[in-house]
């Protein structure tokens, strides 16, 4: 069913009328591509043009939502729910290494031999010979990984590349991407002339245009034929963008502007002026307000984490029952999130068998990690617990290699050395060190990082299901964003920890029922406040990650741990020796270096990881048990009885 029929009679969010015409134009181009004559084409080529237009349409929405930031989240979610856009492909574009991914089909392992990826995910500089101009059989993309296409986009089949923009210096690799049997490396085909009017020079190409594929144009660019280029162009003061139509359109009538889209999707601002001109005071005030809001989020993130550790430590000192404390924290988070779902302030999660199968293992690991963290906080100083928890990158690397097959680079391995050395020095020189506290903190690292690795593996597999092909039974995955996942595993962890609390702290629960417990109202209030602070900590972290780059978030997380350790030492007056401070500093410095080293990995999307060791072990074990035994006939003993014993050979026995 077409999305036009799907949205008929539905009330669209504000802003739909501004992009409706552009999406209808893309729909018309897709229909034209489906119905065009396919004579003389290979079977694999029939869908190439459809994939290219599909990429342009979703790139149009991606630019409005994430680059220009002029589209509301409500409108974007409405487009995704009605399958007007491919939300899975757009989500991939936000991940490092997938910025110009041509299609989800290019990275689905089931579509390729040996569980790999498409050839277009391998940079051109790493190919040899005919591989350089071999298109992806599913999409017709030649390369979408290394930005070798014109203006940094994918290189589509049958799109030319100029000599001066060849991926190698001095024109050593000059080629034209032409039809099969056409141009190849070293040859050149003249480009068909395109009737394009230059954009206003004062706005500049960097601020005004967006590049799709290998042709320069705007957000409604059509690459179906030369001379039919559509784009959004600036008019007047940059607040209105008209869509120009060429005279060779089907009706051949007007050459004037037919429709107007009133969104500042390009370089100009509604506050007046172009991208290269001074902005008004209103624009500066808006930017200042955004910066202040981001600073407030960082402040709330740090403050919530500091107060969580302080309230939690005070409660555990007065009431040393970590299981009950963990249950209270999980209950507070579950109540808050349930209230958000009930009031529709947050879209509720859709519980299906598929979602439950994802949430259950994550809930168990979340519960175990939270419980072991409280065990450590109740046994050793807060500063030592967080120093030990700085070993999280070490567990991340090991678990990712073992379960995901993601081999770490040399810089990443080098940065793990100061982390391990710093934790050892800090642990040996801390006067509050105990083995139960140390081992519980290490178990917390293992559980939390195992949860993260499992979550990544699960969500990556789920994101490969494009919303364009989802049926109604699979749309439950649309509600699984970061906040809903955290809420679901929090509620699941509360369910799992309830019988564990009865087993570990049964006498303490009996004392509470009899009114003889040491759990006073003051201690209970601190436990509830700790749960609220923990929930605010997670929500602030998610909100910051949506507004800054992953590198900035990693640096902020490292600084947060430093602030928490310093605040706990000052608040609880924890004595710290020189060696202890050196070890803590060394470990935190290693965490910062690890965050930077993770961003230095080149061509991440072109690296094909090997089979994870866990998969190899499981496969070999299953093969060993499932392999049928070979039939060996019993030897004929009648011949052996006829042998003489004077040959000096010992008799053979068969059991």
CA 335 to chain centre: 28
**Is 508 part of any domain?**
yes
Name the more confident of 2 and 534. Answer: 534
pLDDT one-digit tens code per residue, 262-304: 333 333 334 444 333 445 677 677 778 888 888 898 999 999 9
pLDDT one-digit tens code per residue, 196-214: 334 333 333 233 233 333 3
| Domain, as residue range, for 324 | 294-463+473-606
**Is 611 part of any domain?**
no
Distance, in Å, from the CA atom of 207 to the CA atom of 214, rounded to the nearest integer, reads 18
Same domain flag for 80 and 170: yes
Q: What count of residues does the chain have? A: 655
Same domain flag for 356 and 209: no
Give the closest residue to 525 by CA, choosing from 349, 315, 378. 315
- Whether 221 and 215 have beta carbons less than 8 Å apart is answered as yes
Burial 10-27 (b: 16+ CB within 10 A, else e): eeeeebbebbeebbebbb
Same domain flag for 256 and 382: no
Same domain flag for 255 and 308: no
Mean of the per-residue pLDDT values of the chain? 71
**Is 639 part of any domain?**
no
**Is 111 part of any domain?**
yes
Stated pTM of the model: 0.54
Average of pLDDT values for 611-626?
59
**Structure token pair of residue 523:** 């201690």
Helix (H) or strand (E) holding 365: helix 353-379
**Is 165 part of any domain?**
yes
Same domain flag for 369 and 254: no
Same domain flag for 51 and 127: yes
**Structure token pair of residue 425:** 């020095």
365 pLDDT more than 80: yes
602 pLDDT more than 70: no
Same domain flag for 211 and 322: no
**Is 192 part of any domain?**
no
Q: What are phi and psi of 484, to 5 degrees?
A: -70, -35
- Whether 146 and 606 have beta carbons less than 8 Å apart is answered as yes
pLDDT number for residue 220: 35
**Is 123 part of any domain?**
yes
Of the residues 261, 285, 316, which one is the last residue of a structural domain?
Answer: 261
**Hey, which bits of 47-128 come out as E strands?**
none
**Structure token pair of residue 65:** 């939502």
Same domain flag for 325 and 248: no
Same domain flag for 254 and 400: no
Distance, in Å, from the CA atom of 339 to the CA atom of 336, rounded to the nearest integer, reads 5
Same domain flag for 24 and 74: yes
522 pLDDT more than 70: yes
CA 174 to chain centre: 35
**Structure token pair of residue 433:** 């060190």
Q: Between the CA of residue 278 and those of 210, 236, 257, what are the distances in Å?
A: 22, 16, 29
**In which band, very low, low, confident or very high, does the pLDDT at 376 lie, cut at 50, 70 and 90?**
very high
Of the residues 606, 629, 647, which one is the last residue of a structural domain?
Answer: 606
Q: How many domains does the chain have?
A: 2
Same domain flag for 230 and 313: no
For helices 521-545 and 482-504, angle between their N-to-C axes, nearest 10 degrees:
150
Q: Which residues, including other chains, have CB under 8 Å from residue 59's CB and lie 6 or more apart?
A: 93, 210, 212, 219
| 3-class SS string, 246-280 | CCCCCCCCCCCCCCEECCCCCCCCCCCCCCCCCCC
Same domain flag for 122 and 210: yes
- Name which of 178-182, 472-476, 489-493, 500-504 the model is least confident about: 178-182
């Amino acid at each position: 069913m077409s999305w036009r029929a799907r949205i008929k009679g539905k009330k669209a969010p504000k802003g739909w009328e501004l992009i409706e015409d552009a999406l209808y134009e893309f729909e018309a181009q897709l229909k034209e591509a489906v119905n065009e004559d396919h004579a003389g084409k290979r079977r694999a080529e029939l869908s190439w043009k459809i994939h290219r237009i599909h990429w342009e349409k979703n790139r149009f929405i991606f630019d409005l939502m994430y680059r220009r930031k002029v589209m509301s989240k409500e409108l974007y979610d409405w487009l995704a729910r009605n399958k007007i856009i491919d939300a899975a492909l757009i989500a991939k574009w936000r991940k490092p290494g997938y910025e110009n991914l041509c299609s989800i089909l290019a990275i689905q392992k089931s579509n390729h031999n040996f569980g790999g990826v498409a050839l277009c995910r391998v940079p051109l500089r790493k190919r040899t010979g005919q591989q350089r101009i071999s298109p992806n059989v599913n999409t017709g993309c030649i390369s979408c990984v290394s930005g070798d296409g014109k203006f940094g986009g994918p290189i589509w089949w049958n799109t030319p590349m100029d000599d001066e923009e060849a991926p190698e210096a001095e024109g050593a690799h000059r080629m034209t991407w032409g039809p099969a049997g056409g141009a190849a490396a070293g040859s050149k085909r003249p480009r068909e002339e395109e009737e394009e009017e230059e954009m206003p020079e004062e706005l500049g190409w960097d601020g005004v245009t967006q590049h799709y594929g290998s042709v320069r144009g705007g957000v409604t660019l059509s690459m179906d034929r030369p001379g039919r280029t559509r784009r959004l162009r600036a008019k007047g003061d940059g607040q209105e963008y008209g869509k120009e139509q060429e005279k060779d359109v089907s009706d051949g009538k007007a050459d004037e502007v037919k429709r107007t889209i009133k969104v500042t999707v390009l370089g100009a601002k509604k506050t007046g002026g172009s991208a290269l001109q001074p902005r008004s005071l209103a624009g500066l005030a808006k930017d200042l307000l955004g910066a202040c809001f981001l600073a407030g989020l960082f402040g709330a993130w740090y403050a919530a984490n500091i107060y969580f550790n302080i309230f939690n430590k005070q409660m555990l000192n007065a009431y040393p029952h970590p299981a009950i404390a963990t249950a209270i924290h999980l209950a507070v988070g579950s109540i808050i999130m349930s209230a958000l779902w009930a009031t529709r302030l947050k879209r509720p999660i859709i519980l299906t068998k598929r979602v439950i199968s994802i949430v259950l293992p994550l809930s168990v690991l979340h519960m175990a990690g939270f419980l072991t963290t409280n065990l450590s906080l109740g046994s050793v100083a807060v500063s030592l617990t967080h120093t030990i928890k700085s070993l999280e990158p070490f567990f991340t690397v090991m678990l990712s290699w073992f379960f995901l097959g993601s081999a770490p680079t040399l810089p990443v391995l080098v940065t793990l050395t100061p982390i391990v050395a710093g934790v050892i020095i800090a642990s040996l020189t801390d006067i509050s060190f105990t083995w139960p506290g140390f081992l519980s903190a290490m178990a917390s690292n293992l559980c939390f990082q195992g949860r993260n690795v499992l979550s990544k593996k699960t969500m990556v597999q789920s994101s490969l299901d494009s919303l364009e092909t989802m049926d109604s039974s699979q749309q439950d995955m649309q509600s699984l964003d970061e906040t809903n996942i955290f809420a679901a595993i929090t509620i699941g962890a509360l369910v799992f920890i309830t019988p564990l609390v009865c087993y570990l702290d049964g006498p303490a629960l009996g004392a509470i029922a009899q009114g003889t417990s040491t759990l006073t109202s003051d201690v209970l209030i601190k436990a509830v406040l700790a749960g609220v602070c923990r929930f605010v900590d997670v929500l602030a972290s998610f909100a910051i990650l949506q507004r800054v780059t992953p590198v900035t978030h990693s640096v902020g997380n490292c600084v947060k741990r430093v602030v928490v350790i310093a605040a706990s030492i000052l608040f609880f007056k924890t004595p710290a020796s020189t060696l202890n401070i050196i070890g803590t500093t060394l470990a935190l410095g290693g965490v910062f270096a690890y965050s930077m080293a993770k961003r230095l990995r080149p061509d991440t999307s072109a690296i094909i990881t090997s089979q994870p060791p866990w998969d190899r072990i499981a496969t070999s074990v299953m093969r060993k048990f499932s392999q049928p035994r070979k039939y060996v006939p019993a030897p004929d003993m009648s011949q052996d009885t006829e042998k003489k014993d004077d040959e000096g050979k010992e008799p053979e026995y068969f059991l």
